[in-house]
Amino acid sequence: MMQGIPQPAFYIFKCQQSAPPGMPKPSCVSQNNPESQELFGYMAQKLMEKGIMGNVQPIQTSCLGRCQQGPVMLVEPGHTMYVGLTKDKIDRIIDEHLIGGNVVQEFVIPEEFWAEPVPVA
């Protein structure tokens, strides 16, 4: 029997959208928040350090539509949206959710901003 290429256990979609300077709309990567500019690289480095980069696939995305709660990232499977990201929060999400198997509820988007999905048909 032929062996297939294994798929990652998790995909992390990290919003990398930035607004032009002076734009009143918030964005996940902000000129006013230097840490927000470093989060994707920081997360990738931590995944490598923990030896789980192959099991977890980080993906840079544009807007995920939750700018007011940014920086944000979506973890699949599970459809878990984490908001207000910082390096400390990313550390906990990696350790507790991706490695430990427990969603870090205190960093999850509030339900009023992340209701049930809209049906396609």
Mean pLDDT score, 13-19: 92
Percent of the chain predicted with pLDDT > 70: 99
Query: Does residue 3 form part of some domain?
Result: no
- Give the span between the Cα atoms of 47 and 60, in whole angstroms: 15
Its domain, for residue 49, covers 10-113
State the pTM of this model: 0.90
* Distance from C-alpha of 48 to C-alpha of 93, rounded to nearest angstrom: 15
Q: Answer yes or no: is pLDDT of 1 > 70.
A: no
Please indicate, yes or no, if residue 118 is contained in any of the structural domains: no
The verdict on residue 70 lying in a domain is yes
Residue with token string 């032009």: 20
pLDDT digits over 35-87, tens only? Answer: 999 999 999 999 999 999 989 999 999 999 998 899 999 999 999 999 999 99
Q: Is there a domain that residue 33 lies in? A: yes
Consecutive H or E run containing 118: none
CATH number at 84 reads 3.40.30.10
Q: Determine the Cα–Cα distance for residues 31 and 19; give it in Å rounded to an integer.
A: 8
**For residue 92, is pLDDT > 90?**
yes
Domain count, the chain: 1
